């Protein structure tokens, strides 16, 4: 758990400045990261993507079994979103019992890697979070 130098902080601030102009106005209203994160970082999408990273192709009911607790509706919604945004492909085989397979696109794999980075970071720091929560030990609405 390395500490962060003032220098690094300044670097980040500089990057932010570059990214969002002078950041004052409501330019931040459209924020690409917000856009993307909001769409692919909900709890179900993350699991779906992680699973597809492990099992290269998965069918609807497979996913449903694995992604424990998800409903048909939500699974179908998420898959559609993820497909729309290019994270996954959907291949339909018009056989008699129809078969549909989902798989990550290159883009999806790329996202998965970022997700893995985050996962590692989270794993490293999760005790910090847990500890912090317990320290405040208030009623955690979440």
Choosing from 54, 57, 71, 99, the residue that interacts with its own copies (CB under 8 A) is: 54
C-alpha angle 60/53/56, rounded to 5°? 60
Token duo for residue 71:
């409903």
User: Does 98 contact its own copies by CB under 8 A?
Assistant: no
Query: What is the rounded CA–CA span in Å between residue 109 and residue 15?
Result: 26
Identify residues 83-102 at the interface with DNA (CB under 7 A): 90, 97-101
DSSP state of 87: S
Q: Decide: is 7 part of the binding site for DNA (CB under 7 A).
A: no
Ramachandran area for residue 89 (φ above 0: left; ψ -120 to 50: alpha; else beta): beta
Query: Could you give the CA distance from residue 57 to residue 108 in angstroms, rounded to a whole number?
Result: 13
Does residue 7 bind its own copies (CB under 8 A)?
no
| CB of residue 96 to its own copies, shortest distance in Å | 28
Note whether 51 binds DNA by CB under 7 A. no
Smallest gap from residue 62 Cβ to DNA (A): 7
> Which residues sit at the interface with DNA, rule CB under 7 A?
42, 44, 59-62, 69-74, 76-77, 79-80, 90, 97-101, 141-142
């Amino acid at each position: 758990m390395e500490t962060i130098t003032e220098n690094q902080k300044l670097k980040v601030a500089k990057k932010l400045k570059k990214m969002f102009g002078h950041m004052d106005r409501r330019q931040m209203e459209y924020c690409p990261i917000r856009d993307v994160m909001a769409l692919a970082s909900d709890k179900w999408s993350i699991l779906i993507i992680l699973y597809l990273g492990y099992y290269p192709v998965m069918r609807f009911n497979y996913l449903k079994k694995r992604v424990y607790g998800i409903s048909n509706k939500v699974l179908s919604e998420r898959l559609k979103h993820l497909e729309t945004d290019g994270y996954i492909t959907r291949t339909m085989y018009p056989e008699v019992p129809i078969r549909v397979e989902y798989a990550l696109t290159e883009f999806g794999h790329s996202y998965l890697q970022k997700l893995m980075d985050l996962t590692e970071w989270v794993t490293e720091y999760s005790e910090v979070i847990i500890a912090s929560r317990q320290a405040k030990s208030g009623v955690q609405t979440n």
